[in-house]
Amino acid sequence: MDQRRDPRGALVRPYAVTRGRTEPLQDIALEAVLIASPTQIAESRFAGHDKHRIAMVCEGRPESLAEIAAYTRLPLGVARVLVADMVAEGLLSLQTAAPATGYEERMEMLGRVLSGLREL
| 72: CATH | 1.10.10
pLDDT recorded at residue 4: 54
Q: How far is CA 9 from CA 31, 71, 73, 106, in A?
A: 29, 20, 15, 34
pLDDT of the chain, 120 residues: tens digit per residue: 444 554 544 444 655 555 556 566 778 887 888 999 999 899 989 888 888 999 999 998 888 888 898 888 888 888 888 899 889 999 999 886 555 567 777 777 777 777 776 766
Looking at the domain assignment, is residue 25 inside a domain?
Answer: yes
For residue 71, being part of any structural domain is answered with: yes
Report how many domains make up the chain. 1
pLDDT at 54: 92
Tell me what pLDDT residue 92 has.
92
**pLDDT, position 15:** 54
Residue 31 lies in a domain: yes
Note whether residue 5 is domain-resident.
no
pLDDT at 9: 46
Q: Are 53 and 25 in contact (CB under 8 A)?
A: no
Which residues, 6 or more positions from 13, have their beta carbon under 8 angstroms from its beta carbon?
A: none
pLDDT of 13: 62
Does some domain include residue 2? no
Residue 4 lies in a domain: no
Residue 65 lies in a domain: yes
DSSP string, 70-81: HHHT--HHHHHH
Domain annotation covers residue 69: yes
Domain of residue 79 covers 16-119
DSSP H helical segments within 5-102, as ranges? 7-17, 38-44, 49-57, 65-72, 76-89
